[in-house]
């Protein structure tokens, strides 16, 4: 029933539109199966245009692809009209649908869109436009206890709804500029869009591991590096960089226009900096802690390099075990997860309480960025932490990592009693 439309960013940008379609005859048959009145080919080409204009950064492309694909399928299968003819009422109906999609539209795991078979790409029959997943912590707990996974419930967060709206707004604006639409129905919603982003109470959840958990993680990473240097010296370095320099995975994996090298470490007057091309392809730099340089020296000795990088050194920062330069974000996450899994097992074996262990089950690679900032915030000037986190607004850093006002409120009520 569901045929994906747009493949990975790498496949999307690697060939012309004609070649892309020639490699996916099943997709062509799917698009041709609709009534001419729905003008799905016009929708396809307009959507392809907006994706092309947002394809420079992989995460941006992936987000737009997800939302645009859902909109196209909803228009063709549910509304029976091109998205370029949508009205405000249609946009409202689509937002309602995103909050509560039909069961057959929902999968229980993220699946690749296409499968290469006999020289052409065919649709993955298991792919669905929406996904509901069991939280990582619950999945790990079920595996530990050899019990069945709990049935996941679908829910769309306020942040996800904002992404839906942003992608639609960008798509409609693109079509306005290309004279494919005369209005932007998203703009007609105005402040009314808050009714979709405020449907549920969103209680913030910590995305940082505790100091106790960190002790187990770094000890485990060092232990695994000693046991198997060829596999885990690199992983130890990655973990230390992520937590010490508050990095995103793309700061180590790179992007289409930039691949990190050892020369990204630059010595200043009083210390070292790590230069990155981050979100929005912005060139920035992060202050590097002295003991982080100790781990860099350890990693470089493993690679038979001098302890510190030379100016302009072109040696890739990360290499695969076969020697190829660069690692993908997926490879980095996979390797780090092995360390997290063993650290979790060690905590369970040491008989720590469920409360002390549980959040480590949910931990992901990105948690290291938040964990490092959480640990360091009490000891750093907020403005300097903001610059190293590379937040655009100081309020983002303040709201997440500095809770002085919250602490005062708790301290005040601690002195108050129920009985007077």
CB atoms within 10 A of CB 238: 28
Q: Is residue 25 over pLDDT 60?
A: yes
Flag whether the pTM goes above 0.85.
no
Residue 202's pLDDT band (cuts 50, 70, 90)? low
Tokens of 38: 């729905």
| Residues across the chain | 420
State the architecture of 211-379 in CATH terms.
Orthogonal Bundle (1.10)
Q: Is residue 316 over pLDDT 90?
A: yes
- As a whole number of angstroms, the distance between CA 92 and CA 95 comes to 5
Mean pLDDT score, 262-267: 96
CA angle at 365 for the pair 161 and 211, rounded to the nearest 5°: 110
**Among candidate residues 26, 250, 51, the one with its CA nearest the CA of residue 122:** 26
pLDDT digit string, tens, across residues 105-137: 998 777 889 999 999 999 999 999 998 876 666
- φ and ψ of 277, to 5 deg: -115, 100
- As a whole number of angstroms, the distance between CA 383 and CA 322 comes to 42
H/E run at residue 115: strand 114-117
Return the domain boundaries, the chain: 9-197, 211-379
Residue 326's pLDDT band (cuts 50, 70, 90)? confident
Mean pLDDT score, 215-223: 97
Q: Is residue 379 over pLDDT 90?
A: yes
Q: Specify which of 158-172, 187-201, 241-255, 323-337 reaches the highest per-range mean pLDDT.
A: 241-255
């Amino acid at each position: 029933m569901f045929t994906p439309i747009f493949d990975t960013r790498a496949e999307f940008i690697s060939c012309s539109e004609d070649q892309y379609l020639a490699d996916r005859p099943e997709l062509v048959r799917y698009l041709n199966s609709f009534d001419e009145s729905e003008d799905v080919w016009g929708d396809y080409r307009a959507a392809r245009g907006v994706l092309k204009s947002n394809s420079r950064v992989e995460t941006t492309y992936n987000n737009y692809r997800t939302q645009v694909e859902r909109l196209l399928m909803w228009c063709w299968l549910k509304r029976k009209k091109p998205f370029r003819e949508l009205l405000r009422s249609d946009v409202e109906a689509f937002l309602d649908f995103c909050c509560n999609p039909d069961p057959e539209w929902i999968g229980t795991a993220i699946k690749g869109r296409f499968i290469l078979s006999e020289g052409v790409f065919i649709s993955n029959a298991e792919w669905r436009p929406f996904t509901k997943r069991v939280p990582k912590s619950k999945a790990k707990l079920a595996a530990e206890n050899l019990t069945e996974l709990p049935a996941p419930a679908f829910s769309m967060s306020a942040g996800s709804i904002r992404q839906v709206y942003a992608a639609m707004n960008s798509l409609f604006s693109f079509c306005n500029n290309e004279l494919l639409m005369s209005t932007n129905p998203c703009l007609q919603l105005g402040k009314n869009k808050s009714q979709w982003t405020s449907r549920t109470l969103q209680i913030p959840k910590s995305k940082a591991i505790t100091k106790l958990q960190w002790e187990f993680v770094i000890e485990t990473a060092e232990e695994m590096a000693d046991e198997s240097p060829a596999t885990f010296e690199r992983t130890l370095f990655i973990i230390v960089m992520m937590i010490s320099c508050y990095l995103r995975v793309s700061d180590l994996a790179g992007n289409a226009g930039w691949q990190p090298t050892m020369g990204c470490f630059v010595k200043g007057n009083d210390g070292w900096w790590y230069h990155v091309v981050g979100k929005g392809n912005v060139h920035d730099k992060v202050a590097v802690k002295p003991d982080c340089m100790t781990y860099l020296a350890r990693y470089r000795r493993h690679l038979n390099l001098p302890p510190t990088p030379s100016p302009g050194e072109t040696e890739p920062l990360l290499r695969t075990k076969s020697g190829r330069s660069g690692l993908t974000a997926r490879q980095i996450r996979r390797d780090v997860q092995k360390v997290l899994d063993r650290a979790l097992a060690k905590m369970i074996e040491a008989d720590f309480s469920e409360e002390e262990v549980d959040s480590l089950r949910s931990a992901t690679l990105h948690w290291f960025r938040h964990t490092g900032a959480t640990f360091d915030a009490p000891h750093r000037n907020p403005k300097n932490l903001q610059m190293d986190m590379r937040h655009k607004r100081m309020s983002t850093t303040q709201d997440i990592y500095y809770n002085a006002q919250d602490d005062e409120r708790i301290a005040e009520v601690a002195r108050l009693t129920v009985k007077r």
